[in-house]
């Protein structure tokens, strides 16, 4: 499909390491390789590794001693002939080898171009291509598991039954319109389509719900730590992050700005936000801080309310408890080194004793962990197309109940069908593809 052979450094090109990999892919891959690679083999077989030397073809000077993995089309990542040169990982050596390949007929690969070829050559669908990048950029166990799951083609397995049901109904309506005399299939009626639509909608809803709950795992749970002044909010942030990020002092009203940090607990990532203590303040700067706390509280997906366990609860604590009552929250009694409260979640931020809180968080998100192993849509692009598909089906359903003829309603069903196909990249426009692949690193 592609005329040119592309090359790139596939390992990190920014730092030295023991080994680096320079990748080549394309029709003329082995011709380009032969110009710089000297080894005993006369012919390369796929799935074999060859020992030899990279030389400068101008003077046969040995540049490096290498191992080259060979993949023959179509049995390679890109579906084309491919070679991966495992060389020594010095920055100079790796770049020199790449330069030699470029001077021998290869072209520098663009970001994500290997994966783009894999997609365009039909080796993987668009969701799998996206999963390659998600896996490379995954920064937690949870997001890596999700990416591995989509890499195996789980999104396409998830959507195919729905796509194929829509396809059948579209085809049936079209046959009825175009060939009214051809009635082997019978004429499909509104009363037959209505229950199908209910079913499609509930399938869309299930897929969307699962996607939204796992997005939380990928992106981190926006978690706000609130409480009145001096209860130990900043101390708790520091204890959870295991670093002195926020200023702690015995003076009430120390924190004014939001202080943020990420932690990985088991499979979930929390995006923690420490806030100014909430109370009535006459201090101008502190009241701006309190406004920010209230805003952060509104946007939070999880709220940790801290109480000072060493003192009786007062009016300020009661107000914060009332304000957060309907929220997804955990109430924590701090200063457990002074006083413990049986049956409550007790921590001592001062001593770094936060185990009960961590256990509670893991318990809360245990069900989303289970979802990690289910096939699930894995990014905003996929989710928004799914929402659009749902919207078109729901419009078609409304039209059906208004008695609109099936041939008109078929347009909405087709639009829903196109959205679902586009998730898998089967309706993609060129600019859409460029947008997706340019986020990749070179060499993938
Ligand atoms: N004994 C004890 N003292 C604590 C604990 N956690 C915090 N403190 C102390 O309580 C005081 C206030 O702690 P901070 O973490 O600054 O409290 P804060 O809620 O962030 O306070 P503001 O930012 O002013 O709202 C400091 O003197 C801390 O050392 C704890 O677990 N035990
Ligand atoms: Mg503070």
361 and 209 Cβ atoms separated by less than 8 Å: no
Mean pLDDT along residues 347-365: 93
Quick one: three-class SS letters along 228-255? CCCCCHHHHHHHHHCCCCCCCCCCCCCC
Taking the C-alpha atoms of residue 234 and residue 236, their distance in angstroms, rounded to an integer, is 5
Please measure the distance between the N-terminal and C-terminal CA atoms of the chain and give it in whole angstroms: 18
Sole residue written with tokens 């509280």: 297
Mean pLDDT along residues 128-156: 89
**246 CA distance to ligand 2 middle (Å):** 7
Q: What is the pLDDT of residues 381-431, one digit of tens each?
A: 999 999 999 999 999 999 999 988 888 898 999 999 999 999 999 876 565
**b/e map 390-422, b = 16+ CB within 10 Å:** bebbbbbbebbeeeeebeebbebbbbbbbbbbb
Secondary-structure breakdown of the chain: helix, strand, coil percentages, each rounded to the nearest 5:
45, 20, 35
State the ligand closest to the CA atom of 249.
Answer: 1
- Tokens of residue 254, six digits: 């120390």
172 and 430 Cβ atoms separated by less than 8 Å: no
Q: Residue 184's pLDDT is what?
A: 62
- Tokens of residue 373, six digits: 């192993």
Please name which of 67, 79, 152, 163 lies closest in space to residue 114, comparing C-alpha atoms. 79
Domains of the chain: 6-125 (3.30.1360.120), 143-216+379-425 (1.20.120.430), 231-354 (3.40.50.300)
Q: How far apart, in Å, are the Cα atoms of 406 and each of 173, 180, 201?
A: 7, 14, 18
Ligand 1 pocket mutation, candidates 248, 272, 333, criterion most atoms within 8 A of CB: 248
Q: Residue 16's pLDDT is what?
A: 86
The alpha carbon torsion through 225, 227, 231, 232 (nearest 10 deg) reads 10
Q: Residue 428's pLDDT is what?
A: 60
- Tokens of residue 289, six digits: 């801080």
Q: Residue 189's pLDDT is what?
A: 85
Mean pLDDT along residues 263-276: 87
Angle between helix 355-364 and helix 233-241 axes, rounded to 10 deg: 80
Angle at 384 between CA 382 and CA 390, to 5 degrees: 105
Sign of CA dihedral 32, 36, 42, 45: negative
- Asked if pLDDT for residue 14 goes beyond 70, the answer is yes
The alpha carbon of residue 408 and the mean position of all alpha carbons in its chain are separated, in whole angstroms, by 37
Task: Give the model's confidence band at 293: pLDDT under 50 very low, under 70 low, under 90 confident, else very high.
Answer: very high
Q: Residue 175's pLDDT is what?
A: 79
Q: Residue 399's pLDDT is what?
A: 93
Q: Residue 386's pLDDT is what?
A: 97
Please name which of 44, 40, 61 lies closest in space to residue 52, comparing C-alpha atoms. 40
Strand order in the sheet with 302-308: 259-265, 268-274, 221-226, 302-308, 329-334, 345-346
Task: Give the model's confidence band at 371: pLDDT under 50 very low, under 70 low, under 90 confident, else very high.
Answer: low
Sign of CA dihedral 409, 410, 411, 412: positive
Helical ranges in 275-405 per DSSP H: 284-299, 315-323, 355-364, 366-371, 380-401
Q: Is the CB of 350 under 6 A from ligand 1?
A: yes
Q: Is the CB of 353 under 6 A from ligand 1?
A: no
**b/e map 23-59, b = 16+ CB within 10 Å:** bbbbebbbebbeebbeeeeeebeeeeebebebbeeee
Q: What is the pLDDT of residues 19-29, one digit of tens each?
A: 999 999 999 99
Q: Is the CB of 115 under 6 A from ligand 1?
A: no
Q: Is the CB of 258 under 6 A from ligand 1?
A: no
Mean pLDDT along residues 319-332: 95
**21 CA distance to ligand 2 middle (Å):** 48
Q: Residue 436's pLDDT is what?
A: 63
* Coil, helix or strand at residue 84: strand
Q: What is the pLDDT of residues 164-204, one digit of tens each?
A: 899 888 888 887 887 776 656 677 888 899 999 999 999 99
Task: Give the model's confidence band at 284: pLDDT under 50 very low, under 70 low, under 90 confident, else very high.
Answer: very high
Q: Residue 46's pLDDT is what?
A: 97
Q: Residue 247's pLDDT is what?
A: 95
For residue 51, what are the β-bridge partners? Answer: 67
- Tokens of residue 335, six digits: 């200063």
Mean pLDDT along residues 367-386: 81
Taking the C-alpha atoms of residue 213 and residue 371, their distance in angstroms, rounded to an integer, is 8
Q: Is the CB of 255 under 6 A from ligand 1?
A: yes
* Entry field: residues in the chain: 444
Q: Residue 216's pLDDT is what?
A: 76
Angle at 123 between CA 117 and CA 127, to 5 degrees: 85
Determine if residue 106 is left, alpha or beta; phi over 0 gives left, psi from -120 to 50 gives alpha, anything else beta: beta
356 and 243 Cβ atoms separated by less than 8 Å: no
- Asked if pLDDT for residue 150 goes beyond 80, the answer is yes
Q: What is the mean pLDDT of the chain?
A: 91
Q: Residue 431's pLDDT is what?
A: 57
Ligand 1 pocket mutation, candidates 225, 232, 257, criterion most atoms within 8 A of CB: 232
**286 CA distance to ligand 2 middle (Å):** 12
Q: Residue 278's pLDDT is what?
A: 92
Q: Where are the beta strands (DSSP E) in 79-173?
A: 82-88, 107-108
Residue nearest atom 16 in ligand 1 by C-alpha distance: 248
* Secondary structure letter of residue 198 according to DSSP: H
369 exposure class (CB count in 10 Å sphere: 0-12, 13-18, 19+): middle
Taking the C-alpha atoms of residue 47 and residue 230, their distance in angstroms, rounded to an integer, is 64
Please name which of 86, 23, 5 lies closest in space to residue 444, comparing C-alpha atoms. 23
Model confidence, pTM: 0.73
């Amino acid at each position: 499909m592609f005329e040119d052979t592309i090359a790139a450094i596939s390992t990190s090109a920014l730092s030295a390491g023991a080994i680096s990999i320079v990748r080549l892919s394309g029709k003329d891959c082995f011709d380009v390789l032969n110009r710089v690679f000297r080894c005993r083999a006369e012919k390369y077989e796929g799935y074999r590794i060859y020992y030899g030397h990279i030389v400068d073809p101008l003077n046969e000077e040995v540049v490096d001693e290498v191992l080259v993995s060979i993949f023959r089309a179509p049995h390679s990542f890109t579906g084309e002939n491919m070679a991966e040169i495992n060389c020594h990982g010095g920055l100079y050596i790796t770049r020199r080898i790449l330069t030699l390949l470029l001077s021998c007929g290869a072209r520098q690969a663009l970001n994500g171009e290997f994966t783009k070829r894999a997609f365009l050559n039909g080796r993987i669908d668009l969701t799998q291509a996206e999963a390659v990048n998600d896996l490379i950029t995954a920064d937690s166990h949870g997001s890596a598991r999700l990416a591995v799951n989509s890499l195996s083609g789980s999104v396409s397995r998830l959507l195919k039954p729905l796509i194929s049901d829509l396809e059948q109904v579209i085809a049936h309506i079209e046959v009825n319109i175009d060939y009214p005399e051809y009635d082997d299939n019978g004429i499909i009626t509104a009363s037959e389509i209505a229950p199908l639509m209910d079913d499609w909608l509930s399938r869309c809803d299930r897929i969307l719900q699962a996607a939204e709950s796992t997005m939380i795992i990928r992106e981190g749970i926006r978690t706000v730590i609130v409480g009145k002044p001096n209860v130990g909010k900043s101390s708790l942030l520091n204890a959870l992050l295991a670093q002195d990020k926020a200023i702690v002092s015995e003076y009430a009203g120390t924190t004014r700005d939001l202080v943020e940090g990420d932690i990985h607990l088991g499979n979930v990532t929390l995006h923690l936000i420490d806030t100014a203590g909430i109370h009535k303040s006459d201090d101008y700067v502190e009241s701006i801080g309190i406004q920010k706390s209230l805003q952060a509280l509104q946007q939070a997906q999880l709220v940790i309310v801290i109480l000072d366990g060493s003192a009786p609860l007062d009016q300020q604590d009661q107000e914060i408890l009332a304000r957060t009552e309907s929220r997804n929250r955990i109430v924590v009694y701090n200063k457990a080194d002074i006083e413990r409260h049986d049956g409550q979640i007790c921590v001592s931020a001062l001593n770094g004793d936060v185990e009960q809180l961590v256990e509670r968080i893991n318990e809360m998100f245990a069900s989303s962990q289970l979802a990690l192993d289910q096939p699930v849509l894995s990014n905003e692009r996929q989710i928004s197309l799914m929402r659009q598909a749902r919207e078109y089906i729901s419009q078609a359903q409304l039209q059906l109940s208004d008695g609109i003829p099936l041939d008109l309603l078929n347009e909405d069903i087709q639009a829903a069908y196109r959205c679902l196909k586009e998730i898998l990249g089967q309706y993609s426009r060129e600019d859409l593809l460029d947008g997706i692949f340019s986020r990749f690193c070179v060499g993938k």
